[in-house]
Amino acid sequence: MVKDEDLLWVQATLQGDREAFRAIVAKYHPMIFDLCRRTLRQTQEAEDVTQEVFVRAFRKLSTYQLSYKFSTWLYTVALNVIRNQLRRQRLVQFFSLDAEPEEGPGPEPLDRHPKPEETAQQQEASALLDRMLQALKPKWRTLFLLYYVKDLSCQEIAQVMGVSEGVVKVSLHRARRLLQEKFKGQLDGVL
């Protein structure tokens, strides 16, 4: 049913129904924003990139192939926009004459406003996840997020990232091994 709903919204959007695209945005905005925020690690930048993802998705919607899950296609669009943003950051930093080595507080901390119903254990696990993600290089961070946080299959991740399923499995294995070494004793069977 959900897949059919997505397809109906896509088809309606392609026929000029902007309300249908608003429904797509309402459904997928939290997932895309979370991916951007966890990958880019800065809330304001993640908001801007999330908006760009939906603008790009709207413009490229006619390229969506109905044989794929819509969420997989949208993640692909999001990852392309995120990669472009990371490339721009590196270029600006590289060519900036005024830039000094960063010794400050580092990336903006993630917005964590614990809700009263969250337990201390959930907050601790979330903080550990954030530290673990920051320890990974961007490509592994993306794979890790898509697999463990967004519950995409290796096959779906391979489609999204434009690599083979084997590359996904090997990269996930290496990321897990790195995290197990780096966070030994803190994981208690999490990975």
| Final residue belonging to a domain, choices 61, 95, 129 | 95
**pLDDT of res. 175:** 87
| In-domain check, residue 101 | no
Q: Which residue type sits at 158?
A: A
Q: Do both 88 and 130 map to the same domain?
A: no
**Over 50: is that where the pLDDT of 75 sits?**
yes
Q: Do both 19 and 68 map to the same domain?
A: yes
C-alpha distances in angstroms, 169 versus 25, 30, 120, 128, 146?
Answer: 30, 26, 32, 23, 12
Quote the DSSP letter at residue 137: -
* pLDDT tens readout for residues 29-51: 999 999 898 888 888 999 999 99
**Over 60: is that where the pLDDT of 168 sits?**
yes
Spell out the SS3 assignment of 101-135: CCCCCCCCCCCCCCCCCCCHHHHHHHHHHHHHHHH
Q: Do both 43 and 91 map to the same domain?
A: yes
- Token pair 């044989």 in the structure block, residue: 67
Q: Do both 155 and 83 map to the same domain?
A: no
Q: Do both 141 and 89 map to the same domain?
A: no
Whether the Cβ atoms of residue 97 and residue 24 lie closer than 8 Å to each other: no
| In-domain check, residue 72 | yes
**pTM for this prediction:** 0.58
* pLDDT tens readout for residues 141-157: 888 888 877 778 898 88
Q: Based on the number of CB atoms within 10 Å of its own CB, is 9 exposed (0-12), middle (13-18) or buried (19 or more)?
A: buried
Instruction: Give me the domain span that covers residue 127.
Output: 120-191
Q: What is the rounded average pLDDT of the residues 65-86?
A: 88
**Over 70: is that where the pLDDT of 120 sits?**
no
Residue 69: count of CB within 10 angstroms of its CB: 16
N- to C-terminal Cα separation, the chain:
32
* pLDDT tens readout for residues 77-115: 998 898 888 777 665 554 444 444 444 444 444 444 545
| In-domain check, residue 90 | yes
DSSP states of 50-83 as a string?
A: HHHHHHHHHHHGGG--TTS-HHHHHHHHHHHHHH
Contacts of 157 (CB under 8 A, 6+ apart): 143, 146, 147, 168
Q: Which residue type sits at 100?
A: E
Distance of alpha carbon 142 from alpha carbon 79, whole angstroms: 8
